[in-house]
A and B are shown apart, each in its own frame.
With several copies, the nearest count.
Chain A
Amino acid sequence: MSQPGGRAASAPLMGREIEPTIFELSSPGRSAYQLRTTGVEALDLTSVVPGEYVREEPVRLPEVSERDLVGHVTRLSHRQFSVDLGFYPLGSCTMKYNPKIADWVTGLEGLNSVHPGVPSELCQGWLELMVDLEERLCAVTGMAAATLQPAAGAAGELTGLLLMRAYHESRHDQRRRVLIPDSAHGTNPASVTLGGYEVTTIPSGPDGLVDVAALKAALGDDVAGIMLTNPNTAGLFEENIVEIAEAVHGVGGLLYYDGANLNAILGVVRPGDMGFDIVHMNLHKTFATPHGGGGPGAGPVAVAEHLAPFLPGPQPAREGDHFVWRSPEHSIGRVHGWHGNALVLARALAYIEVHGGDGLRRVAERAVLNARYLQARLADTLPAAYEGPCMHECVLTAKGLKDETGVRGLDVAKALLEHGFHAPTVYFPLIVEEALMFEPTETESRETIDALVDALRSIAEQSVRDPDGVRAAPRSTPVRRLDEARAARQLVATEDAAHR
């Protein structure tokens, strides 16, 4: 099926049509590619590759002109919301503004053209950059050493759990369980399983904090450790963290800090000081390397002194005024094909260098101020799920609204799209009914937050007046609500499946 390539009808700027797929735009014989003139003679492939391995026909890729490709992708980009277009208060995701200087950094030929397999003498700049970043991350978390290899937060978690395991094993200490609060992010339990441990879920108290008594009850000498975020996923600071740390350490367990919420405490308090042994960071959250529509991120792991010998290797290391690769003595080995998501690391370092220590503290202050302000302003519209002062994000509940009007949290989120804002995170943490989790981040202005409050108020009012109207939102987006059940029932995950 051939389709026009030059029409913007699919773009929200004009019209309401769908954008054809690149395959639908394809026409046999059309092409865009241009390759260098090399002066190398063509090779008869069959003379060097056994016949059975030679592809009979080329891979069925799209055949488009450069012009049609540009039109297609540009129109797709106009069907995509982003931080650069507007407020994205998605809780737990820290969708702050991503400074453009970081894009510029990744454009440096001296960084982006370096092959990862070169000897250290040929990549001194990269090694220095990485060592600097490790040092900064240790300073921020209060830790002794770090690895930059993990490609995202979840990879950091699993790395941390393997470190935990290596540590216990080095002491010939067999342990079986890892404790996780019921408010934890799904990657935590999934990582625990992959780390070869069993999950013991710790309930949260009515105040949204870990139930310390329950936690203590769950402790035992088969507990390898605990995974916590602090502030936790309810946006609350675990005030009993010192008591918790003592209890876990008391049975020989380690404390793992899920750094997804680090933004709240930069320069205010450090995981190391709270008693954590292992910390991962989501550079794509706290350090504003953008999220790329789903990735790439980077999930460095920092550890206390006693865990440093187990870190993945090879590691960049300073040696006098030179930099070398070195593997920690009892390294668990590689967790990435090369050295981690290097250009993401470069972005994060640029961000940290611009801010410096006091700048990072300002980040945390403003992030918390914005969230606290938002929560307070919404108190009579969408009450907070918990009473305690929130940190950088607040979990509100639409339960009251639902009971009163039948309009659910998801409907509120969808209606918000209609008002020009991205939705909050819905139905997470799982322990809060009709949860709406807002994380305004520090880069949004007070006016923006006020406008969000106004929008939510008007949605709440409309919910009373015209609940069906709210449930039908959004209307003016490129597409409206989707039939998600159909997508799963009749899986069409490729162009070929679509035409089967």
Chain B
Amino acid sequence: MADYLPHTDTDLREMLAFLGLESLDELFAHIPEALRLTHALATPEGLSEPDVAARFQDLAALNQARSSRTVCFAGAGAYDHTVPPVVTSLGSRSEFVTAYTPYQPEVAQGVLQAVFEYQSMVSRLFGLEVANASLYDGATGLVEALNMAHGSTGRSRMVISQGVHPHWRQVVKTFARGTGYEIVEVPLVNGVTDWSGVDLGEAAAVVVAYPNVLGAIEEVGAPMNLAHAHGALGVVCANPVALGVLRSPGDFGADVVVGEGQPFGTALSFGGPYLGLFACTMEQIRRLPGRIVGETLDLEGRRAFVTTLRAREQDIRREKATSNICSNQTLMAITASIQLSYLGPRGLYEVAARSAAGAHHLAARLSEIPGVSLVSDAPFLHEFALRLPVSAHRVVHEMAAEGLLAGVALDHLSEGESCGVRDPETVLLVAVTEKRTREEMDSYVDVMKKVVA
């Protein structure tokens, strides 16, 4: 019987009387009777908030992979980076949380300016001129990038490295069912994309990951040049934390950069809500999907912000819109801009550099274990693929019992998509963030030794 409704019996009586109705049921009298439900919905009876809270606490306790029970070395697109209390507390201010899309800029400068600042940071991070107000996640960001390439080139052939996260490629393929794109995958050799045999004729986009799903730092300039040589757009899927130390994709000539923004202030959250980062060149601005906030003046000459270039969007352009996106991930975008301001240039650098230092330390120690080795000798930053003498799934399982989330088993992740490595069932993707201590890594190595022995 719990609810949040303010109506007292008197309210109900008087409001119905004003409408000339006798009962609440009469509100629905014009709905064909045959359709009207005569019984309650088949959902459990309502509980009070504290009862529901107890239920959720029980559910939460059932997740063994929670941070209080397992130390996280899993990455593969979702990372356990620092989220300081100040970022959480600012990002959860109720004015942001309970606002709608900023349709009335006079009373929405808070969200609008925060998103403007977010766009500015994403643009600098990716090295491109313009960024949008966010997309759902990295994977659907890539879909939008391909749509942009299609719109820009009029072509439908999408050439994608197998170094791109397998889930992203799956999502691309799902949506290609509608748009009819041809998806051409380019294999990895020794962990990095081998562009040599690829036919780029009629390509709309050439897509490379930076670093790729195995953690390898791939060549970015070459595929961008290839793309341009064939009249295609060059698209980079970037790990945004890695860009704290790696050069921006824009510097290598990328036309579009997408990324998963979760590492910027969003908890692991079992995969969502995350944040699709998206930036492109000014040339593509009219094809940019989603919202853009721009600067302007109010009628008294004060600087102010407003959503702009709205003619691209679905509510105005309808079936000809550049995208169908409406709700996006604004709150995560605001949080990301807060997190990036918290980190600043040096902080972001440190996060990337320390994560890398940890990963290299751990990789070196693990490689000493007999039967354990790195899948590739390509350069990597804070994530690497490990070849195990036993099933990676088993290792994850057994190490979890010892309080360590060892990583992500590649075959569990790839669900049949190829990531260019043989025997994926013995490959473990390991990620190290700036949060992981030497102690935790030592214990990781010890447990791994036992498990593979």
Contact = CB atoms under 8 A, between A and B. Distances in A.
Interface in B271-318: 271-274, 285, 291-300, 302-304, 306, 308-310, 313-318
Most buried by B among A85, A293, A297: A293
7 smallest CB-CB distances across A and B, nearest first, come from A110-B60, A338-B271, A80-B110, A356-B46, A116-B271, A33-B347, A294-B330
Given A34-B84, A99-B86, A486-B297, A296 B327 contact: yes
A404 interface: no
A41 interface: yes
A399 interface: no
Contact of B360 (A43, A73, A88, A341): A43
A103 B18 CA distance: 37
Q: Contact residue range for chain A?
A: 35 or more
A45 interface: yes
A199 B109 contact: no
A1 interface: no
Contacts of A37: 47-48, 51, 437
Interface string B67-99: 110101010111010101110111011111111
A337 B321 contact: no
A59 B107 CA distance: 32
A130 to B, nearest CB: 9
6 contacts: A35-B50, A48-B381, A70-B86, A79-B107, A80-B108, A154-B325
A15 to B, nearest CB: 11
Nearest to A240: B32
Interface in A129-162: 129, 136, 139-140, 151-155, 157-158, 161-162
Interface stretch (B114-122, B226-234, B445-453): B114-122
A165 to B, nearest CB: 6
A321 B182 CA distance: 42
Nearest to B79: A115
A139 B42 contact: yes
Interface stretch (A211-219, A249-257, A362-370, A460-468): A362-370
A179 to B, nearest CB: 12
B159 interface: no
Contact of A269 (B36, B110, B400): B36
A39 B52 CA distance: 15
A73 B90 contact: yes
Contacts of B323: 190, 194
Given A37-B51, A85-B95, A340-B271, A496 B111 contact: no
A165 B97 contact: no
B95 A84 contact: yes
Interface string A244-275: 00000000000000000000001111100110
Contact of A101 (B14, B85, B268): B85
A428 interface: yes
Given A38-B358, A74-B90, A269-B35, 4 more contacts: A84-B97, A342-B273, A369-B16, A496-B123
A231 B344 CA distance: 36
A417 B64 contact: no
Interface string A167-194: 0000000000000000001110111111
B197 interface: no
Given A190-B323, A337-B140, A357-B43, A42 B353 contact: yes
B344 A292 contact: no
A455 interface: no
B78 A338 contact: yes
Contact of B78 (A100, A109, A115): A115
A196 B11 contact: no
Given A152-B326, A267-B41, A297-B327, A292 B97 contact: yes
Interface string A45-88: 10011101111111111111111111011101111111111001
B188 to A, nearest CB: 18
Interface string B142-180: 000001000000000000000001011011011101111
Contact of A110 (B10, B63, B309): B63
Q: Contact residue range for chain B?
A: 35 or more
A37 to B, nearest CB: 5
A153 B171 contact: no
B22 interface: no
B298 A480 contact: yes
Interface stretch (B200-208, B238-246, B367-375, B419-427): B238-246
A487 B308 contact: yes
Nearest to B330: A294
Contact of A342 (B55, B107, B271): B271
A93 B327 CA distance: 10
Contact of A38 (B84, B180, B313, B354): B354
A41 to B, nearest CB: 6
B117 A69 contact: no
Interface string A414-449: 100100001101001000000000000011111000
A471 to B, nearest CB: 11
Given A74-B93, A356-B44, A334 B109 contact: no
Contact of B119 (A115, A157, A336, A493): A493
A398 interface: no
B85 A104 contact: yes
A354 B47 contact: yes
A139 B441 CA distance: 36
Contacts of B147: 194
Contacts of A151: 136-137, 140, 272-273, 329
Given A117-B74, A360-B41, A495-B120, A189 B51 contact: no
Contact of B48 (A35, A152, A338): A35
B353 A356 contact: no
A234 interface: no
Most buried by B among A443, A495, A496: A495
A336 B114 contact: no
Given A295-B134, A337-B168, A117 B299 contact: no
Given A35-B48, A35-B50, A69-B338, A29 B10 contact: yes
B104 A81 contact: yes
A410 to B, nearest CB: 10
Given A291-B99, A483-B299, A53 B59 contact: no
B177 to A, nearest CB: 5
A413 interface: yes
B18 A90 contact: no
Given A78-B95, A90-B100, A337-B271, A39 B106 contact: no
